[in-house]
Amino acid sequence: MDYNKISNNIRKKILKIIFDSQASHIGSALSCVDILTVLYFKILNINPQSPLAENRDRFILSKGHAASALYATLAQRGFFPEEILDSYCLNGGKLPGHSTKGCVPGVEVSTGSLGHGLSMGAGMAIAAKHDNKNYKIFVLLSDGECDEGSVWETAMFASHHKLDNLIGIIDYNKFQAFGKTNDILNLEPLKEKWLSFGWQAQETDGHNFSQIEKTLNNVPFEKGKPSLIIAHTVKGKGISFMENKVEWHYKSPNKEQYNLALKELNQK
């Protein structure tokens, strides 16, 4: 499995559709590509030919603004034809700027407002336990999303009910819309918060494929507890002039920037 090649392809697709549509959130999409790559090409028990199979693992993109990354990953994995990607955010297209349940096969829930995905994941986890099913539910959150009180309501709920089939992953790229995450509303000590809420938590380098895979292979980290992965990432990862720059939360690349970025990705 050539993770580098796959994730580079996904990044190129994200770059193209965001350039074509002049949409936002390229930095937020690029920071979670490597996590999505490992999930969709190694970890998740899924079948693109049978996207609604009863016992599939569920993936919820709670940071719905990174929808371009999810769509590009699903297309790369064969859930739908790549041409559909070209309609992202365009008039009459199939793919809205925030991921919407069923817009294409593989998108499980509608997100876009932060602080919703983990609760829905907990509901799915309860259902799986009740029905004696073994599937897992993976929820990808943003760091800024942890400002939402509802995230912590679910944190309490999930540990109280021992939902060890629920895995939260925080794409900790250290930036949110208007600045650095911990300048705006400090999350630290983040790992300790989750531990004290009754989860088992581990940190990982969100761009190191073998580390991501190893961490995800270890879930649940502890029987009877939900698992939380803090993935340290870089906003805008893979396109050097976008890395760690808050403005790429919103900005769209112009033609020159697009060519520059594409050149960089092509060289990898």
Partner 1 sequence: MRQAFINTLTELAKKDTRIFLLTGDLGFSVLENFREKFPKRFFDMGVAEANMIGVAAGLALSGKIVFVYSIVPFLTMRCFEQIRNDLCYQNSNVKLVGIGGGLGYGAAGPTHHSLVDIAIMRALPNMTVICPGDPVETEIATKLSIFRQGPVYIRLGKSKEPKVHLKTPEFEIGKGITIKEGKDITLIATGNILYNAKQVADKLIENGVSTRLISIHTIKPIDKEIILKAAKETRAIFTIEEHSLIGGLGSAVAEVLAESNNKIFFRRIALPDSFCKDIGSQEYLREKNGLSVEQIINNILQIYKKIYKNEN
Contact between 112 and partner 1 by CB under 8 A: the answer reads yes
Contact between 226 and partner 1 by CB under 8 A: the answer reads no
Q: Which of 27, 106, 115, 206 binds partner 1 (CB under 8 A)?
A: 115
For every residue of the chain, DSSP letters joined together read: --HHHHHHHHHHHHHHHHHHHT-S-HHHHHHTHHHHHHIIIII----TTSTT-TTPPEEEESSGGGHHHHHHHHHHHTSS-GGGGGGTTSTT-S--SS--TTSSTT--S---STT-HHHHHHHHHHHHHHTT----EEEEEETGGGGSHHHHHHHHHHHHTT-TTEEEEEEE-SEETTEEHHHHS---SHHHHHHHTT-EEEEEETT-HHHHHHHHHT-SSSTTS-EEEEEE--TTTTSGGGTT-GGGGT----HHHHHHHHHHHHT-
Give min distance, CB of 58 to partner 1, in A: 9
For partner 1, the binding residues in 157-196 under the rule CB under 8 A are 157, 161
Contact between 96 and partner 1 by CB under 8 A: the answer reads no
Give min distance, CB of 62 to partner 1, in A: 10
Contact between 116 and partner 1 by CB under 8 A: the answer reads yes
Give min distance, CB of 203 to partner 1, in A: 25
Q: Which of 86, 153, 205, 264 binds partner 1 (CB under 8 A)?
A: 153
Contact between 127 and partner 1 by CB under 8 A: the answer reads yes
Contact between 120 and partner 1 by CB under 8 A: the answer reads yes
Contact between 149 and partner 1 by CB under 8 A: the answer reads yes
Contact set with partner 1 (CB under 8 A): 100-101, 108-113, 115-116, 118-128, 130-131, 149-150, 153-154, 156-157, 161
